[in-house]
Amino acid sequence: MSHATHYVVAASHIDRELLRLLVWVPLTLLDDGLMRATRHMWTTLIVERTDTEVLVMVELTIAWTWLIQQHLGLFSQHFEPKNPFAAKMSYTPSDKSARARAYAAISRTLAPHMQVIEFVVQRFDAVKHLPYGNFSVVNAILRILQVSFDNQDRITTNALARGPLFTLVHLGFKLLKLGFESNPILEAKLRDGLYRLAFRWFALPPCWSFSGSKPTLAREIQILIDTRHTIKGDTPVLRSAPALVGKWSATGSGSALAVRASYSSLTGSASSGNSSSTLPMTPLNGSKLHHYPNLRHLNPLSRHRRHANKTPGQAVTNESSTTTSASSLPDD
């Protein structure tokens, strides 16, 4: 790999076939040690030969789709968590050696994919500050995110996948900061996909996970904290795009109002995900149980339907009783 990289750098013309092999061979083997060395070689190649950056990113985009089709890395289905009630209960101490073997097997699958994601994040950080950024690199990253959104059901739900998953989510929200004034539809779809991907993770039941590496756990916690701060800085702006906005909204694929409604929920979920001792929206965590009032009386349409079948006197009586009961509810 090293000799091939130096050959591409020193050659007067780019050997496209050799460059293609430099991308595909490590991703086909998907080994953690090899991917670490490959990430360094890709960076060296792009720095020494800037005209190879687009070719590397395009091949990486194609290879990402291949990883999804082959169920490799983050899209593996071999480590899905099982129902704890499906296993026979035993009162023996936990087998630490079995736990270590399970963690090693999962790491061999997820760690190489994490290296690929970190390389993509590195390339984005390298071009985002340029006044005329490499739009081909940004388009390649958008393609990777879009393919991941379309195949989010194939992403493993194992607890140890939180690092790669939220690194992708964090990358997507950083990408939104570039601004898409000329294409509000693309911005809305990107934001919708990011929220759906993040909410899919928080929709899963909480579970314990055991990590054999404290630095890895600290890095995952930092990723969650950075993602939460990035989401808090995300301010969706409603823009007008004649004929396009109406057509896109009519399909039901998402809306800016839904994004604004999801904003506070996702920031709360991300902050609660930093602690393994608390669960989001758990009433027992407070000093008293929270009572959630029935707010149907605030809906004028439902009130109109109820009063349509009553006499005027009954409607006035029910209206006053509803107002009284609503005012007596405790504050949340």
**pLDDT tens per residue across all 332 residues of the chain:** 888 898 999 998 999 999 999 999 999 999 999 999 999 999 999 999 999 999 999 999 999 999 999 999 999 989 888 877 777 878 888 788 888 888 889 989 999 999 999 999 999 999 887 755 578 899 999 999 999 999 999 999 998 899 999 999 999 999 988 877 678 888 889 999 999 999 998 888 877 776 667 888 889 899 999 999 988 888 776 555 444 444 444 343 444 444 445 555 565 555 555 544 333 333 333 333 333 334 344 344 444 444 444 444 444 444 444 444 444 444 44
- Tokens representing 77 are 């289905």
Rounded distance between C-alpha atoms, residue 140 and residue 224, angstroms? 24
The sign one gets for the Cα dihedral 216, 285, 85, 205 is negative
151-197 per-position pLDDT tens digit: 999 999 998 899 999 999 999 999 988 877 678 888 889 999 999 99
Rounded distance between C-alpha atoms, residue 192 and residue 172, angstroms? 11
Q: At what angle do helices 32-48 and 2-10 cross, to 10 degrees?
A: 10
pTM to 2 decimal places = 0.72
